[in-house]
Amino acid sequence: MNWYQNLYTGKTVEKKKQRLIHEIEQEKYRGNIFLITLASNPKNQLEILSVHQLRFSYIRRTCPMIVGIASGRREALRLLESIVQEVYETTGDVKLREFFV
C-alpha cells in the first residue's frame, strides 16, 4: 500500500492512525473506516473507498496513493473538504493530483 507521508486523518482516528495502518497492511479490514485516495481514473482527482473494498484483490493491487483516513463516510467527506481547502489555500488552485504527486 502506498501511503501519503503526511496522511490526513479524521478527528476520531487521529490517535488510532498507526494501528489502523498496520491492520490494513495486515489485511484486517474492520470497522467503518474509509480511505481517501488519488482517483484511479486520471480524469478524476480523489475518491473515497471503504476499507472493506480492499478485500477484492484487484482493488488492493491497483489502489493508488492513500492520502486520508477517516471513520465513517460523513467524516471522510468532511476530511475531503478540508483537504481541498488546504490545497487551495497553499497553491491557489485545486489540482489535487499534482499536489500529492
Domain definitions of the chain by residue range: 3-100
pLDDT digits (tens, 9 = 90+) for 11-35: 999 999 999 999 999 989 888 999 9
Are the C-beta atoms of residues 65 and 100 closer than 8 Å to each other? yes
Give the C-alpha distances (Å, rounded to integers) separating 55 from 10, 15, 27, 45, 63.
Answer: 22, 25, 8, 23, 12
Phi, psi dihedrals of residue 43, rounded to the nearest 5°: -80, -20
Q: Indicate whether 10 pLDDT > 90.
A: yes
Query: What's this model's pTM, rounded to 2 decimal places?
Result: 0.91
Cβ–Cβ < 8 Å for 55, 29 = yes
Residue 95, classed as helix, strand or coil, is: coil
Element (H, E) at 5: strand 3-9
Per-residue pLDDT of 52-87, as tens digits, reads 999 988 888 888 899 999 999 999 999 999 999 999
